[in-house]
Structure 1
Amino acid sequence: MARYGQRPENALKRANEFIEVGKKARALDTLQEVFRNKKWTYNWAESVLEPIMYKYLELCVELKKSHIAKEGLFQYRNMFQAVNVSSLENVIRYYLRLAEEKTEAARKQSQQAVIDIDDLDNLATPESILLSAVSGEDAQDRSDRTILTPWVKFLWESYCQCLELLRTNAHVETLYHDIARMAFAFCLEYVRKTEFRKLCEKLRKHLEDISKLPQMASNVSINKMETQQLNLETRLIQLDSAIQMELWQEAYKAIEDIHGLMNLSKKLPVPKTMANYYQKLAMVFWKAGNYLFHSAALFKLFQLSRDMKKNMSSDELQRMANRVLLATLSIPLPSAHPEFDRFIETDKSPQEKAQKLAVLLGLLQPPSRASLLKDIVRLNVVNLASPAIQDLYNWLEVEFHPLDLCCRVESVVTTLQQDESSPLLQYIPALQDLTLVRLIHQISQVYQTIQLTRLIELAKFTDVFHLERLLVDCVRYNDMQIRIDHGKKSIHFGVDLSEAQREDHPDGPVLQAMPSEQIRCQLVNMATVLHRANNIINPNKKKQEREKLRAQMVQYYHDTKVKEHQRILGRHKIIEERKEYIEHMHYVREQEEERRQEEIQRQQQLAEQKRLEQEREERERKRQQSEIQQIKDRTLKEKMQQISQTSHGQKVLKKLDEDEIKKLDAEQIAAREAEELQKERKETQQKLKSQEKKVDYLERAKRTEEIPLIIKAMEEKTEQAKQLWEQQEAERIQAAIEERKQMEATRERLARTKEEAESFLEKIMAERKSIYLEKLAAFEAKLEQERAKRLLERKIQRKIDRKLQWEREIAEAAERKRMEEERAQREEERKRMEEERAKREEEEKARRAKEEAKEAERLAKLERQAEISRQKELEIEKKLEEDRLKAMERDRPQPSSWRKNLGGESVGGGSSWRIKQEARERDGPRDRDVPRDRDGPRDRDGPRDRDGPRDRDGPRDRDGPRDRDGPAPRWQRGGDRNMDRDRNMDRDRNMDREDNRDRPRSDFRFNRDRNYDRNMDRDSKPMENWRNASNVKKEQAPARDPPSREIEKRDPPKENKEEKKNDDDGWATVTRR
């Protein structure tokens, strides 16, 4: 049977046969054709295809055919994703479990390959030493690259394929996230950082694709709470894995994804999830060197833990408070003017970055060191910390003790260093730097000049270079006035009175202000006093200005009130136009949405056409490949014939069996032949090498004898080099001594000119002092002019501000009045609408009462009409009964004498049944020879009124609403025994009639007479001819509808003239018969 026509069971059996003989590739091809065949795949249940899929995946894993496994899994997903999701899940988990087991076995094999060494005494062979020197790899690395790496790659491809397979199906969403977590564990176990980055990007792209999917039941919806929770848990595992692998960039991206998912969710995450999020976020910020946001994250974690965890112990609370307080104290002091950003606002990236990080913590604005300290004090975190940490806070932020500050902080640091496993050890370097900066700040408040050695004594845990670097940073970032004198080894603070520090309050404890700050405050105090003096001189000036301004505002109101009124009236028109515009925009959006849906459908149709075209091209490609394969087979056959004619080719063919020959092509067979030739050449070369070994032995012996001579020559050369070096070193020392003598002479010569230089400098300073005083006087005069000018401008500006304030108050009062009027109008409108609604309800109630009365009257009328109809029906039935009796009397047979013999005696006696049924005698003239109702003209054979209305074309009682609860009509309940008889009785009678046709005449006659007598006894009425009665009923039945016992809100019966005509026709027929 052809492979494409095999049934799945047969294909599995065939594949097992191939596996038994060791042809796994052929077995895989056989199973692959089952899933490629569109004729069978959708016609078999999972119980048939699931074992085939398991075997298929086993072969793919053993042969490392990940692309073939992907194709099969996609086909299996298309078959069972909407039918049996559990089968698809079991298959995928089985596939991944096989891949993981193979990878683990390969790792053990790789490790064992390194352990299995021939010579344990000589672990480092010459070959391994050379390889490690060239490639930089040891034996384990080379073994992993050869044995383990292919399986690791296969397992990674398997994870990617399964994630791509399940990314949009809502039924296997849990399996998708399980596989993602398995992939994270794989990256951690095998330390695959590159694959971890690719996996994170893949998951991020899948999440973007999910948000763009149409809303369908089978698609994953990011708006579902379950989907959001699964994605959040997966991203938390991703964050944890990134931290363990120290991929901080990926950890930050994972944090952004987690924050986006939490914002997307309408429900807040559980406190445990939030605590884990803040903990990981704090770790990432610490690794990034951002101590400020690290402390903010720990503070958020502390708040969450204390609010949500009610049973928190005091030790745990103290431990968290210690960490939060230490992290906050370790934050470096903020820069007074970060480079040029204080003067030129060009680069906003630091502010934007800080805002972005604040959003991750759920803060409205970026935190600062001062704000965090205020929050810590406000929430009583300081009192919750240990006494040592509380003292540290007081020493750094509250108290002013520059001489003992470093000693006290060093005692706390020593206490922290006693516990080597404490997480607080990471804050010690930052805490020491902050302590040194605090020391420099406090020293600058006390000393104007201090010796560098004294400052180093106060700073216990630093050296000269680190301290000098801190001083430079304080000048650069903290806006301090510091000058270092290296000649005198001293430090000067606050020596420039013309430059003041920043205006905000300095951070930390302060003893007194700097001289420059005092000058700046003096000018402010002077301005305050002058302002008070001006108010005392002119006490009524402000009142007059207010009166004038009030009059101007009243005049302005009268000038603009009409215009404002028109503007308010025009506002309503603008609102209506805006509403119309919004409705138009909604309509336009709906039209655009419809067009978009149509475009999507069109794109789907194009995609389907493209898929069909690709399938057609695939079939064409396979056909071409089959033709190419046939050509190759033919070429192979010809090549085999050529090779078999040579001796080398015959040797090659003897080594190959039929299956191996089928797997090889012509080039490979030629390569085998060439390999055989190469083997013979190697044998020849081996003989030559044996001769070379002899030559090498002789050469080695020569060189062995040369070794002592070479060693002697090297020793002599080394002795000569040593003597040369000693001579050069002595010359260098002598040159250095002479150079020092020359430099000392130069220093003594220049020292004699020091006093003259100082006197020259004093002379220059005396000459320039007069020029300095003149410029100072000019500056003070210009300063007075500028002060007067600015005071005048400020006075004018204050007038303008007061006028604007008065106008604003008037406008607010008018607006409040207008709003009150509108509120009163709305209240009146509401009352009016309530009155109208009550009036409408009363009218509606009266109308309903009137309609109910009309309905009752109509029902009564209908009841009367129904009663009239019933009377008419009873009269019609009575008349029909009378006509039926008359017809029976007329059709009754008369006694005849044709049975009597010549003697005047009747044959067989004078029984009553022969008198009644003499027409049935077989030998005499039979009753059937006379005109019978069956053979004569029948009413159904006569002219029919086919063009007239028929009862079945008109309304039927069965087509209308049925009253199943009311009593059934009389023709269903069995009212008249002749007209409304049981249908089962009619059916039995018809069957008896068919049987009577085959009976002897005597039996038939006897049965008929018996039935006649029974009917006469039962009804006390003569029995009419059954065929005539049947015909009469067939003609009369459609002429009337069965009477109804109850009428429930139905239309009154209409008297149709055509129905009356049908009734008259029925009467004429019965009368004629």
Structure 2
Amino acid sequence: MTTFAKPENALKRAEELINVGQKQDALQALHDLITSKRYRAWQKTLERIMLKYVELCVDMRRGRFAKDGLIQYRIVCQQVNVNSLEEVIKHFIHLSTERAEMARNQAQALEEALDVEDLEADKRPEDLMLSYVSGEKEKDRSDRELVTPWFKFLWETYRTVLEILRNNSKLESLYAMTAHRAFQFCKQYKRTTEFRRLCEIIRNHLANLNKYRDQRDRPDLSAPESLQLYLDTRFEQLKIATELQLWQEAFRSIEDIHGLMCLVKKTPKASLLVVYYTKLTEIFWISGSHLYHAYAWLKLFSLQKSFNKNLSQKDLQMIASSALLAALLVAPYNHICGMSHLELENEKERNLRMANLINFNLEPKVENKEVLTRSDLLFEVVSKGIMSCVIPEVKDLYHLLEHEFLPLDLAAKAQPLLTKISKFGGKLASASAVPEVHLSQYLPALEKLATLRLLQQVSHVYQTMTIESLSRMIPFFDFSVVEKISVDAVKHNFITMKVDYMKGAVLFGSLDVESDDLRDHLTLLAESLNKARAMIYPPVKKASKIAEILPVLGDVVDKEHKKLLARKTIIEKRKEEQERQLLEMEREEESKRLKMQKITEEAEQKRLASEYEQRKNQRILKEIEDRELEEAQALLLEAEKRSKKKGKKPIIEGEKVTKQTLMELALSEQLRERQEMEKKMQKLSKQMDYLERARREEAAPLIETVYQQRLVEEKIRHECEQQLEVELSKQRHDSDVQEKNRLARMLDNKRIFQERVLGCRHAEYDRLRHEREEQIDQILQARRQEREAKRKIIFFLRSEEERLSKQQEEEEARKREEVERRRKEEAERRAKLDEIAEIQRQRERELEEKEMARREQLLNRSTETPTRPSEPIGGAHPDHGTAAPPAAAATAAVASASPGKYVPRFRRQSESSVVQAPPSEPDRWGNSKRDDRPADRWRSDDSRSFGSGARDERRPLGGSGGISRSTWPSSRIPPRGGS
């Protein structure tokens, strides 16, 4: 792309390319400009460029280009100019919707234009052949060619915009608006698959919002505005799901709303709750969950009664009647009978889940065995005051089915009530959020309930009844349907009955299965045999033998019974162990097989994916090459045809023919043909407008005549119906007066009976109150005694704790004293050892000083009077190997010195000290020191320090004399064992 100093130049260049028909090059140029970081500072010009770019993407249906450009523009505008991004996205959605509607209208106009008498006159031969071969209608082909591509692009537009705007606090309103428009698109065109995908997309956006909490510009759901937008979107999703009859998706939307409210811990407005429970009633009714349907109606009644101030009495009666009938039609037996443990756990979890949804409960619910039951529901209905709001027929039906005991007349009395109830219903004027209420939808379930109640009451009164009599008592169903209902009731232990078709009778009682006749057959056989034995052998003669045998026989029977039980237990344990081992082996084999299969599948998928990518790339390259070749050839042929028609040559001599020149010529020709077609279409539309205007002008007087005739007919019909209604009202009034006179004779008897019943109830109440007071006194006395005993126990425990704590403290004090004593002893011992060590170090220092003085004296003497070579070191006699005593040697050394030579005082002192040294004590290593040797801490007197040679021998080191090894300085003595 050629770079420009200003983005206006790039925009002008793109417009020039669009004018000459090169939209692809213009789109690519604008895309490169938007993705470049060079022109991001030009906000206003970039907005114009972006609008032009969006228009090009919509014209060419390039959704991928539009998505990339919008993402780059969002990066530019998100922190600086969010309104510009909002305008661009709105323009993008508007253009996509407009083009889709235009394509749809064009397809409809094409269908109407083809709707003529002679289809063959307007069809081309190739169209006829295509219709015969494919069997496809003209409308389907036109929709596939015109409408479907634009609808696909519109759907892709919605998805792209939602993906760009997701989880952005600055674009929440635009995100909600886009979601609402996408819902309306799915509703308008009945797009159920796209609606499911849209719901899943919005659900994933909320999940990612909760997952990545540290995201920048993340919406705050605790804010009222954000929460309201999210709730409105979910409620719109719920409404569209119910209108499209996608009940599973509607239930998932309910869960989404409930999860959102649990997340933010806030209860929505009453108007939204009414919609919530209204949709719940529809969903549960479609799913057949009558219990949850009734609870939803109960919540809806409570909300309408509490928050709807404009609710009329008639609408309140309809809502209350619906709630009561919904509670009545719940099956009166328990469905959990006979379930396994796993099924019971699943049912319990399901009940808890539904209870949370229906109650809109944000707190964890107490886990009971049954969270929602029919008995609790009816109790809530009575306690909430619904009975005072329902219509009389529904109230009478409730008392008849729940409180009356009429085995023979129950169905006959319930049928006219059900007929009257089925006529009630309609739209509620003062409760717009509640849909139309039709009580007739409850009629089949109520008839089934009446049948169950009749069978229950008949089974309490009769043991046997003919099938004909039972069929006459139940006018709702045939006997085959009654039998199906009774089978379900018997399965759940609600009634006990069986049908004997051989006798044509129904049996009530404990004989509910055929195997009951054989349950005690061994006992009956034993009793019969005992009777026969007693008749053959009188009991008097065998009394003694039986008395002897019976005790032993009882013990034997008990032992055998215990053995059988033990054997049975062992067998069962072995079977369980074998089954467990088999299950473990199967589980291990299955896990191994699954691992191998997973590894194989992953390898195969990788291989297939790589092969698919290679084939795809090759195919795309080949298609691009083939398409370019075909386009060049087609353009060349068209140029040649046009040149032949117009009589001029398409190629100038010396000019180089390229694909670009051919495409420019073809695009200019297509633009001219399109303009001519648009002029023809405008002329045709004007002609159709004139024809339509003329047709309506001719039809106007005929419509007026028909309207006047219809008014006269409706007036006559209204008068007839009004007269009929007056006659019926008079007849009903007369019958009601007769009934009142007939029942007035029973008024005295009724009063007497009422007084008798009230007197009995007062007496019973006084007796129960007296017993209750006595029980309360006993309970209070028992609680006083219990408190006194508890107080004594607490006092004893506290005193014991105090004693133990004191004892523990004394023990700890003793331990601390012992530790302190040991610490003092250790300190004293260490002080003594330090003192002894200091004395020893002082003694060693003194010995070292003496040794140094002695060595210095010997060194001085050896330098003054060197010994002769023939004389051994140390003054030893040549004829003897023993050394002279040290005192004599020292005296001789002093005497041999020159008499007139000056000797320093310290030498004289050292010599005298050497001469007068006392006998040495044992050294620090425990070795005794020789009297003729000075104390040497390095043990230089040891013969091992000098290798080989005599122990006391002194050898000369060289020529005329030298220093003996015994007088070698200690710092220069090589280490023992060294070189």
TM-score, normalised with respect to structure 1: 0.47
Matched, 1:88 2:82: no
> Which residue matches 1:384?
389
Provide the C-alpha distance between the structure 1 equivalents of 2:55 and 2:324, rounded to a whole number of angstroms.
58
- Give the alignment's Cα RMSD to 1 decimal: 4.5
Matched, 1:360 2:342: no
Question: Partner amino acid for 1:443?
Answer: V
Shift of the 151–636 alpha-carbon distance from structure 1 to 2, 3 Å rule, reads closer
Q: CA deviation at 1:309?
A: 2.6
Matched, 1:492 2:507: yes
Matched, 1:177 2:192: no
Q: Please give the residue correspondences for 1:568-717 in structure 2 after superposition, counting only pairs within 5 Å.
A: 662=659
Question: Partner amino acid for 1:402?
Answer: P
Q: 1:66–1:157: 8 Å Cα contact kept in structure 2? A: yes
> Which residue matches 1:889?
none
> Which residue matches 1:544?
none
Matched, 1:33 2:32: yes
Question: Partner amino acid for 1:437?
Answer: L
Q: CA deviation at 1:455?
A: 0.9
Instruction: Tell me the secondary structure at the aligned position of residue 4 of structure 1.
Output: coil
Q: CA deviation at 1:820?
A: 14
Range moving further from structure 2, 250-259 or 219-228? 219-228
Q: CA deviation at 1:396?
A: 0.5
Matched, 1:408 2:413: yes
Q: 1:481–1:493: 8 Å Cα contact kept in structure 2? A: yes
Q: CA deviation at 1:105?
A: 0.7
> Which residue matches 1:456?
471
> Which residue matches 2:398?
393
Provide the C-alpha distance between the structure 2 equivalents of 1:424 and 1:320, rounded to a whole number of angstroms.
10
> Which residue matches 1:56?
53
Q: 1:4–1:33: 8 Å Cα contact kept in structure 2? A: no
> Which residue matches 2:457?
442
Matched, 1:73 2:70: yes
> Which residue matches 1:478?
493
> Which residue matches 1:268?
267
Provide the C-alpha distance between the structure 1 equivalents of 2:656 and 2:472, rounded to a whole number of angstroms.
90
Q: CA deviation at 1:660?
A: 10
Provide the C-alpha distance between the structure 2 equivalents of 1:212 and 1:271, rounded to a whole number of angstroms.
30
Q: 1:396–1:435: 8 Å Cα contact kept in structure 2? A: yes
Q: Please give the residue correspondences for 1:287-298 in structure 2 after superposition, counting only pairs within 5 Å.
A: 287-298=286-297
Matched, 1:159 2:174: no
Q: 1:336–1:478: 8 Å Cα contact kept in structure 2? A: no
Question: Partner amino acid for 2:454?
Answer: L
Deviation sequence 1:847-883 (CA, Å, 0-9, x none)? xxxxxxxxxxxxxxxxxxxxxxxxxxxxxxxxxxxxx
Shift of the 121–266 alpha-carbon distance from structure 1 to 2, 3 Å rule, reads same
Question: Partner amino acid for 1:433?
Answer: K
Q: 1:636–1:665: 8 Å Cα contact kept in structure 2? A: no
Instruction: Tell me the secondary structure at the aligned position of residue 312 of structure 1.
Output: coil
User: Across the two proteins, how many residue pairs are aligned to each other?
Assistant: 554
Question: Partner amino acid for 2:423?
Answer: Q
Unaligned runs of 5+ in 2: 427-436, 517-616, 667-783, 802-979
Shift of the 26–131 alpha-carbon distance from structure 1 to 2, 3 Å rule, reads closer
Instruction: Tell me the secondary structure at the aligned position of residue 174 of structure 2.
Output: helix
Provide the C-alpha distance between the structure 2 equivalents of 1:100 and 1:292, rounded to a whole number of angstroms.
44
> Which residue matches 2:587?
none
Shift of the 39–340 alpha-carbon distance from structure 1 to 2, 3 Å rule, reads closer
Provide the C-alpha distance between the structure 1 equivalents of 2:82 and 2:72, rounded to a whole number of angstroms.
14
Equivalent residue in structure 2 for 1:117, among 114, 117, 133: 114
Instruction: Tell me the secondary structure at the aligned position of residue 269 of structure 1.
Output: coil
Q: CA deviation at 1:213?
A: 2.6
Question: Partner amino acid for 1:199?
Answer: L
Q: CA deviation at 1:290?
A: 0.4
Shift of the 458–233 alpha-carbon distance from structure 1 to 2, 3 Å rule, reads same
> Which residue matches 1:858?
none
> Which residue matches 1:43?
41
Question: Partner amino acid for 1:275?
Answer: V
Deviation sequence 1:119-138 (CA, Å, 0-9, x none)? 42559999999988987864
> Which residue matches 1:9?
8
Q: 2:381–2:387: 8 Å Cα contact kept in structure 1? A: yes
Q: 1:4–1:37: 8 Å Cα contact kept in structure 2? A: no
Instruction: Tell me the secondary structure at the aligned position of residue 450 of structure 1.
Output: strand
Q: 1:102–1:151: 8 Å Cα contact kept in structure 2? A: yes
- Select the structure with the greater relative contact order (CA < 8 A; seq sep ≥ 6): 2
Shift of the 92–372 alpha-carbon distance from structure 1 to 2, 3 Å rule, reads same
Provide the C-alpha distance between the structure 1 equivalents of 2:198 and 2:69, rounded to a whole number of angstroms.
23
> Which residue matches 1:432?
447
Provide the C-alpha distance between the structure 2 equivalents of 1:168 and 1:99, rounded to a whole number of angstroms.
24
Q: CA deviation at 1:496?
A: 4.0
Question: Partner amino acid for 2:478?
Answer: D
> Which residue matches 1:469?
484
Shift of the 414–819 alpha-carbon distance from structure 1 to 2, 3 Å rule, reads farther
Q: CA deviation at 1:347?
A: 4.9
> Which residue matches 1:98?
95
Question: Partner amino acid for 1:228?
Answer: L
Instruction: Tell me the secondary structure at the aligned position of residue 332 of structure 2.
Output: coil
Provide the C-alpha distance between the structure 2 equivalents of 1:308 and 1:231, rounded to a whole number of angstroms.
23
Shift of the 467–636 alpha-carbon distance from structure 1 to 2, 3 Å rule, reads closer
Q: CA deviation at 1:28?
A: 1.8
Provide the C-alpha distance between the structure 2 equivalents of 1:659 and 1:120, rounded to a whole number of angstroms.
54
Q: 1:3–1:33: 8 Å Cα contact kept in structure 2? A: no
Provide the C-alpha distance between the structure 2 equivalents of 1:486 and 1:283, rounded to a whole number of angstroms.
42
Shift of the 472–235 alpha-carbon distance from structure 1 to 2, 3 Å rule, reads same
Provide the C-alpha distance between the structure 2 equivalents of 1:654 and 1:664, rounded to a whole number of angstroms.
14
Question: Partner amino acid for 2:393?
Answer: A
Q: CA deviation at 1:401?
A: 1.3
Shift of the 163–420 alpha-carbon distance from structure 1 to 2, 3 Å rule, reads same
Provide the C-alpha distance between the structure 1 equivalents of 2:315 and 2:141, rounded to a whole number of angstroms.
49
Q: 1:396–1:438: 8 Å Cα contact kept in structure 2? A: yes
Deviation sequence 1:207-248 (CA, Å, 0-9, x none)? 011112344662223343332222111111111111111111
Deviation sequence 1:702-759 (CA, Å, 0-9, x none)? xxxxxxxxxxxxxxxxxxxxxxxxxxxxxxxxxxxxxxxxxxxxxxxxxxxxxxxxxx
Q: 1:337–1:478: 8 Å Cα contact kept in structure 2? A: no
> Which residue matches 1:936?
none
Q: Please give the residue correspondences for 1:923-942 in structure 2 after superposition, counting only pairs within 5 Å.
A: none
Deviation sequence 1:963-986 (CA, Å, 0-9, x none)? xxxxxxxxxxxxxxxxxxxxxxxx
> Which residue matches 1:852?
none
Question: Partner amino acid for 1:86?
Answer: N
> Which residue matches 2:225?
226
Deviation sequence 1:939-973 (CA, Å, 0-9, x none)? xxxxxxxxxxxxxxxxxxxxxxxxxxxxxxxxxxx
Question: Partner amino acid for 1:389?
Answer: V
> Which residue matches 1:1033?
none
Instruction: Tell me the secondary structure at the aligned position of residue 46 of structure 2.
Output: helix
Q: CA deviation at 1:31?
A: 1.8
Question: Partner amino acid for 1:60?
Answer: C
Unaligned runs of 5+ in 1: 502-623, 670-804, 823-1073
Q: CA deviation at 1:173?
A: 1.0
Q: 1:181–1:237: 8 Å Cα contact kept in structure 2? A: yes
Q: Please give the residue correspondences for 1:816-831 in structure 2 after superposition, counting only pairs within 5 Å.
A: none
Deviation sequence 1:23-46 (CA, Å, 0-9, x none)? 222222232222122212x2212x
> Which residue matches 1:561?
none
Instruction: Tell me the secondary structure at the aligned position of residue 388 of structure 2.
Output: helix
Q: CA deviation at 1:265?
A: 2.1
TM-score, normalised with respect to structure 2: 0.51
Q: Please give the residue correspondences for 1:708-857 in structure 2 after superposition, counting only pairs within 5 Å.
A: 814=793
Deviation sequence 1:74-127 (CA, Å, 0-9, x none)? 111111111011111111011101100111111111111111117425599999
Q: CA deviation at 1:336?
A: 6.3
